[in-house]
Amino acid sequence: MWLTNSSIGRKVVMSISGLFLVLFLTFHMCMNIALVFSEDAYNAVCKFLGANWYALVGTLVLAAGFLVHIIYAFWLTLQNLKARGSDRYAVNVRPDTVEWSSQNMLVLGIIVILFLVLHMAQFWFKMQLNEIAGVAPGINPHDGATLVIEVFSCPWMVLLYLVWFFALWFHLTHGFWSAMQTIGINNKIWFNRWKTIGNVFVTIICLGFAFVAIAIYIKYGLMGAGGVC
């Protein structure tokens, strides 16, 4: 099959799955911003996206998208290393025309995955999975606001998440315009435009996540009785 047997096909699959995940992050960022202004509004969304059938289907689709993206990323990286052979050791200076993020997409991706595991343990495990299987007795799976406030009342957690958002920004800014190029936007004018649009869009997403973490810490950790990790 073309999507799996050719290098271009694999890049198309990774690009489309990556753009799909960007859309999810956009929704997730908007949902989190609601918490800064209203705990009740955030918990209402958490309850709506609990263990309902449409939420479970969405979770499975999202998980499949992540798995496809991760598998194809490692697949393409190994393919590129194999194709370059010993030549990859010949040059250790990055050309001026090559972005740092372009040469470190796999490393950035691994950082994102590691923090994703932490993020799921702190929230998804205690919310949706808890509602389904009761894995966290005593924790209300619909009270996501309390969980978020507890995590971001700790300054070290805020710092770790800010590092995550920074790595995510590098990963997404390169991935966005690279995906546009892969799916056929090769015109120089529109390529530069999509690169600018991607940089702005991804910056808004990451700043939105950072805003939530910092705002929660200031409101509940720094100014409140929290702040203890």
| pLDDT tier, 180 (very low <50, low <70, confident <90, very high otherwise) | confident
Q: Token pair for residue 187? A: 């015109």
- Confidence at residue 4, expressed as pLDDT on a 0 to 100 scale: 66
With a pLDDT cut of 70, the percent of the chain lying above it is 85
- The model's pLDDT over 1-48, given as tens digits with 9 standing for 90+, comes to 656 667 777 788 888 888 889 999 999 999 999 999 999 999 999 999
Band (144; pLDDT cuts 50, 70, 90): very high
pLDDT at 191 > cutoff 50: yes
What is the SS3 assignment for the chain? CHHHHCHHHHHHHHHHHHHHHHHHHHHHHHHHHHHHHCHHHHHHHHHHCCCCHHHHHHHHHHHHHHHHHHHHHHHHHHHHHHHHHHHHHCCCCCCCCCCHHHHCHHHHHHHHHHHHHHHHHHHHCCCHHHHHHCCCCCCCCCCHHHHHHHHHCCHHHHHHHHHHHHHHHHHHHHHHHHHHHHCCCCCHHHHHHHHHHHHHHHHHHHHHHHHHHHHHHHHHHHCCCCCCC
pLDDT digits (tens, 9 = 90+) for 64-111: 999 998 888 888 878 877 776 655 444 454 445 456 666 777 788 888
Q: What is the pLDDT of residues 197-228, one digit of tens each?
A: 999 999 999 999 999 999 999 998 777 655 55
Percent of the chain with pLDDT over 90: 47
What topology is assigned to 2-222 in CATH?
Answer: 3 helical TM bundles of succinate and fumarate reductases (1.20.1300)
User: Which residue from 85, 108, 104 is spatially nearest to 165, judged by alpha carbons?
Assistant: 108
- Predicted confidence at residue 88, as pLDDT, reads 47
Q: What is the pTM of this model?
A: 0.85
Residue ranges covered by each domain of the chain: 2-222
Give the count of beta carbons closer than 10 Å to the beta carbon of residue 142. Answer: 17
